[in-house]
Amino acid sequence: MKEWQGNIIGAIVITIIGIGLILWANMIELPTRYRTFLGIPYAVNPEFVIVSYQVVTLLFFGVLLLGFGLGILANTYSIYRLEKKLGRPPQPMTRFCPQCGSAVTEGARFCYKCGKQLET
């Protein structure tokens, strides 16, 4: 398995976990903000505070993991493109320099070894 193939699996898992945390945070139902007595608010509901912290924490880590996952995916795509580019077979060398005899690529105007101008 190539390096980018292992990275892409981990990046997808991290991205899915991040999305799951964000969805989980959005599904939590918040209790009423204030406790009331005869319809008059008199104190902040402690359940509201605890659940609010849970929602904020889930959203924070969800966005954080989503960002990491997408960043790893983008980096993995760059590695894939680079490996694909470098994995191409070399250009055919069918011509030879008349002065030094080294192989030169097709269409080259000068020998890369001795610098002699080649006929095109």
Sequential pLDDT tens for the chain (120 residues): 577 777 888 889 999 999 999 999 999 988 888 888 887 788 888 899 999 999 999 999 999 999 999 999 998 888 888 888 887 655 565 788 889 988 888 788 888 889 888 886
pLDDT at 34: 82
pLDDT at 80: 83
pLDDT at 21: 95
pLDDT at 7: 82
CA angle 12, 84, 88 (to 5 degrees): 165
Residue 54 CB-density burial (10 A; 0-12 exposed, 13-18 middle, 19+ buried): middle
pLDDT at 88: 63
pLDDT at 70: 93
pLDDT at 38: 81
Residue 51 CB-density burial (10 A; 0-12 exposed, 13-18 middle, 19+ buried): middle
